[in-house]
Homo-oligomer: A and B are copies of this chain.
Amino acid sequence: MVQLDFEKSGGLIPAVAQDWQSNEVLMLAYISPESWEETLRSGYATYYSRSRKALWKKGESSGHLQKIRGILVDCDLDTVIFKVEQAGPGACHTGHRSCFYRAVAGDELQEVESAVFDAEKVYQVKK
């Protein structure tokens, strides 16, 4: 298994999920050594949830799985890019395809991409 440098950042490193075809960045989350192993083993993006302190197979409850189509690692071995095939309409818990749906416009944030699914229905959360 390819060894990454988890120590520099105290055990977790960032993983950028990027659409394998369009190159759109869909989200950024963190991986632990166990997430890394599980991602490689399963072929599906598996992160570490900092809030739940647990392994997090993306899409396990929503169905919005991220099938791994390739993995890039950076020069320092402390960041990875998951090239993913995103199942379902989107990756973000707000109902947007990408978590990066807002742009800085002066002192404000401007929504630059509309929601593509009903987050309340999928995640049973209030928006």
Contacts and interface: CB of A to CB of B under 8 A. Distances in A.
Contacts of A96: 75
Given A2-B109, A14-B14, A16-B16, A73 B104 contact: yes
B16 A102 contact: no
A107 interface: yes
A27 interface: yes
A81 B23 contact: no
Contacts of A74: 27-28, 99-100
Interface of A: 1-2, 8, 14, 16, 18, 22-25, 27-28, 40, 50, 70-76, 79, 81, 92-94, 96, 99-104, 107-109, 112
B75 A94 contact: yes
| Most B CB within 10 A of own CB, among A74, A79, A81 | A74
Contacts of A22: 23
A70 B8 CA distance: 30
A114 B34 CA distance: 31
Nearest to A39: B104
Contacts of A16: 16, 25, 28
